[in-house]
Amino acid sequence: MQPQIVLLKEGTDTSQGKPQLISNINACQSIVDAVRTTLGPRGMDKLIVNSQGKATISNDGATIMKLLDIVHPAAKTLVDIAKSQDAEVGDGTTSVVLLAGEFLKQVKPFVEEGVHPRIVIKAIRKALQLCMEKINEMAVRIEKQSKEEQRALLEKCAATAMSSKLIHQQKDFFSKIVVDAVLSLDELLPLNMIGIKKVAGGSLEESQLVSGVAFKKTFSYAGFEMAPKSYEQCKIALLNIELELKAERDNAEIRVDNVKEYQKIVDAEWQILYNKLAKIHESGANVVLSKLPIGDVATQYFADRNIFCAGRVPEEDLKRTMKACGGAVMTTANDIKSNVLGLCDRFEERQVGGERFNLFQGCPNAKTSTLILRGGAEQFLEETERSLHDAIMIVRRTIKHDSVVAGGGAIEMELSKVLRDYSRTIAGKEQLLIAAIAKGLEVIPRQLCDNAGFDATNILNKLRQKHAQGGQWFGVDITKEDISDNFEQCVWEPSIIKINALTAAAEAACMILSVDETIKSPKAGEPPMAGGGMGMGRGMGRPM
């Protein structure tokens, strides 16, 4: 009898070969179907409820993919590319998933017929290289001639990014705000220097941009209401000190045997606190912000001396205040001098909807700004924040790489044409494969039409004809159910989004094609025979 060779742990699930590859492609297809309808200005949104019952409404590919909680190992790749697109350029997350899925769909028949995946991968790589060359050749560089022109360009890119979102009706309003916010940053354009605060209620147009810092009023004790709520020319002490009585007592165990001793300890605690407060007062600060709690005694002390105070300020807000107003965050009250205080022209506590906000404006180092969003339901505000995040990322990208291409499927149609033309010049299997990828690129305009309820076949035929005649910027016109020159229509997108999306999609497709075996270890703790009686263990030394 042949001895049985045991290679893998019992319960390990393996599948391999062509069927495995096909099944991976099919899994990716179902993911693509989940996000397909969200693409473009007429795309629909998804409502996703998680296991805790929290509902999220979103149009953003990356957010949807994250929330889908996908377990299929190959299909997870698509989630990863959506995430990487989100992190790298911020927009184009639906497009990247759609493109990867469509590339796979188009090459699937070839794989089924037995073309070796390596040949397919080679063709995809070649097609990608051609696309990159073409995008770089076509991208229009907008020379930084004047500030106004740059602004106009940035606003257009922001508007295109937002036109596919829930807030598309307010895109003109928001694109100005977004551009203002980004232009207020310093050279490196750090994203975390734009704060976004949400206040439910009111209308979207009541949203505002504060050049400087704003944050919600923190928890406060009695006595707070007596302190003034607005200052001109204020000096801000930024602290990381607890100004509460009980603090010292909690840190040590003290044994006393008579009341006098105990009284001494209590007095000492008060003394320590009063010393700290006096030092802060002496420094000349009239606004005190602390990351740690400010207790009732301290609040009263400050209020008596016309000092505004706020404890438990979130760290990021404290840091942004420091960036905007100068000064330093102090961890001890001993060396608070006037040179470590931040400065700003105006401080006020203002009512925004149902919330009170602390606003710092006219900051000397203002390299930061805060968007206060207003709007109806919480889900709606969250989606607005995500949409603005996309737009902010796009504006940042455009400032760094100031070349743009036309959106609305125009660039994809042109790339498709280039690939098709190229495929006619070569022989062999590659010809069919490159033509298949060319067809795959058409998914973007086709889906834009489908989502808007247009006749996709008709519009795609018109587009193919226009592009063959040299109309390289023609794309889908969402308003007229027709085609138009999207460069003139100002549907502009930074070329970096398209470059990144195509590269990531091609990489993902290649990766999925290069996998021909999945080996799944049994879950720890699970009995190996969880399937119930099927296929008894191999080589367990059972009696024959």
Residues in contact with ligand ADP by the rule CB under 6 A: 38-41, 43, 59, 61, 91-95, 160, 163-164, 407-408, 444, 448, 476, 478, 491, 493
Closest CA to 290 of 225, 233, 218: 218
- Which is closer to Mg ion, CB of 164 or CB of 283? 164
- Asked if 60 and 162 touch (Cβ cutoff 8 Å), the reply is no
* Binding site residues, Mg ion, CB under 5 A: 91, 164
Compute CA 284 distance to the chain's CA centroid, rounded to the nearest angstrom. Answer: 41
93 is catalytic: yes
DSSP 410: H
Query: Nearest approach, Cβ of 477 to Mg ion (angstroms)?
Result: 18
Query: Nearest approach, Cβ of 181 to Mg ion (angstroms)?
Result: 18
DSSP 225: G
Residue 408 interacts with which of ligand ADP, Mg ion, none, CB < 5 to 8 Å by class: ligand ADP
Residue 493 interacts with which of Mg ion, ligand ADP, none, CB < 5 to 8 Å by class: ligand ADP
Residue-level length of the chain: 544
- Which is closer to ligand ADP, CB of 65 or CB of 121? 65
Q: Taking the alpha carbons of 485, 106, 76, 122 in that order, is the dihedral positive or negative? A: negative
- Asked if 369 and 212 touch (Cβ cutoff 8 Å), the reply is yes
- Which is closer to ligand ADP, CB of 163 or CB of 207? 163
DSSP 9: -
User: Active site residue: 93, 368, 370, 384, which one?
Assistant: 93
Query: Nearest approach, Cβ of 308 to ligand ADP (angstroms)?
Result: 43
User: Active site residue: 91, 390, 402, 450, which one?
Assistant: 390
| Cβ contacts of 213 within 8 Å, gap of 6 or more | 195, 317, 320, 321, 324, 325, 359, 360, 363, 368, 370
End-to-end CA separation in angstroms for the chain: 11
- Which is closer to ligand ADP, CB of 214 or CB of 443? 443
Report the alpha-carbon distance of residue 171 to residue 199 in Å, rounded.
Answer: 19
299 is catalytic: no
Residue 61 interacts with which of Mg ion, ligand ADP, none, CB < 5 to 8 Å by class: ligand ADP
14 is catalytic: no
Residue nearest Mg ion by beta-carbon distance = 91
Query: Nearest approach, Cβ of 179 to Mg ion (angstroms)?
Result: 17
Residue type, position 408, single letter: G
Phi, psi of 286 (to 5 degrees): -120, 0
- Which is closer to ligand ADP, CB of 191 or CB of 226? 191
Phi, psi of 362 (to 5 degrees): 65, 45
Query: Nearest approach, Cβ of 495 to ligand ADP (angstroms)?
Result: 12
Report the alpha-carbon distance of residue 476 to residue 43 in Å, rounded.
Answer: 14
User: Active site residue: 56, 60, 86, 450, which one?
Assistant: 60
Phi, psi of 332 (to 5 degrees): -140, 150
Residue 218 interacts with which of ligand ADP, Mg ion, none, CB < 5 to 8 Å by class: none
- Which is closer to ligand ADP, CB of 121 or CB of 159? 159
User: Active site residue: 94, 368, 370, 398, which one?
Assistant: 94
Residue type, position 46, single letter: K
94 is catalytic: yes
Query: Nearest approach, Cβ of 125 to ligand ADP (angstroms)?
Result: 23
Active site amino acids = 60, 93-94, 390
